[in-house]
Structure 1
């Protein structure tokens, strides 16, 4: 179980790195006239993603969830794949990547990397991680609750983001 707590902590540390990058990119975007969209749902997203990490650890520890290799190892592979996809998105978008929805007037819409294949690949990574990370160690309640709540949040987020992206060339 210690290794699982370390895995969740590593994902949490990665999120902190993302927030540092996002803040740097936010300042860069704002300096170029960038406008933020959907700021009202952003705190909900932060709470939900923080709760995912806490729920993973809490459920495994409090409810003594066992590690089941037949489920755990494939889910671990999906967690790793989600991180690879997420960082592919971050590197493809460069300074335009953010955890917030910010559009710079006149900026070109990025269509390379994973965006060649699907319009919102980062959300694919979020969805996969949201069920796979808890299921690595049997936290099925956390996986189910996060998946349902995240689906509702993503509905709003995608509407906001698609409206904002329609402003790009």
Structure 2
């Protein structure tokens, strides 16, 4: 249980690094006339993502969930792959990436990196992590609850982002 607790705490530290990056990038976007869309759902997203990490720890320790190697190791690989995909998105978008939906008018859509294949690759990372991180230590209740609660939030977020990006400049060829 201790190694898993360390893993979840490391993910929490990674989230803090994301928030620092997001704040810096949001400031950049605002300085470049960026317009925020859908700010109403942002607090719900913060609470849900915090609850994911808390749920991983609470379920492990209170329900005495075991580490099952046949499940845990593949889920760890997926959780790490989700982190790698998320940071690929962050580096590809550069200063345009943040945890809010802020669009700078006139900038072309990004079509490189993972955006070459998916419109919203970061959300794939969120889905994979929401299942994989809890299941590293058989936290099936946390994985299920997060997934079910995240689904309507993610649909709202994608609709919001698509609407915001619809007014953006066309993609570079």
* TM-score past 0.5 threshold: yes
Q: Could you report, residue by residue, the CA deviation over 1:118-163 in whole angstroms, capped at 9, with x for unpaired residues?
A: 1100000000000000000010000000000111100100010000
- SS at 2:39 equivalent: coil
How many residue pairs were aligned? Answer: 169
Give the C-alpha shift of residue 6 in structure 1: 0.4
Q: Could you report, residue by residue, the CA deviation over 1:8-28 in whole angstroms, capped at 9, with x for unpaired residues?
A: 000010000000000000111
Flag structure 2 segments of 5+ consecutive residues without an equivalent: none
CA distance in 1, matches of 2:114, 2:155: 21
- SS at 1:19 equivalent: helix
- SS at 1:7 equivalent: helix
Q: Determine the structure 1 residue equivalent to 2:24.
A: 24
Q: Determine the structure 2 residue equivalent to 1:104.
A: 104
State the TM-score, normalized to the length of structure 2. 0.97
CA distance in 1, matches of 2:112, 2:118: 10
Q: Could you report, residue by residue, the CA deviation over 1:53-76 in whole angstroms, capped at 9, with x for unpaired residues?
A: 000000000000010000000000
Q: Determine the structure 2 residue equivalent to 1:156.
A: 156
Q: Determine the structure 2 residue equivalent to 1:68.
A: 68
Aligned structure 1 segments of 4 or more residues deviating by more than 6 angstroms:
none
Give the C-alpha shift of residue 167 in structure 1: 1.2
- SS at 1:40 equivalent: helix
- SS at 2:4 equivalent: helix
Give the C-alpha shift of residue 168 in structure 1: 1.0
Give the C-alpha shift of residue 82 in structure 1: 0.3
Give the C-alpha shift of residue 50 in structure 1: 0.1
Give the C-alpha shift of residue 105 in structure 1: 1.0
CA distance in 2, matches of 1:110, 1:98: 14
Give the C-alpha shift of residue 95 in structure 1: 0.3
Q: Could you report, residue by residue, the CA deviation over 1:90-129 in whole angstroms, capped at 9, with x for unpaired residues?
A: 0000000010000001111101000000110000000000
The alignment's C-alpha RMSD in Å is: 0.4
Q: Determine the structure 1 residue equivalent to 2:129.
A: 129
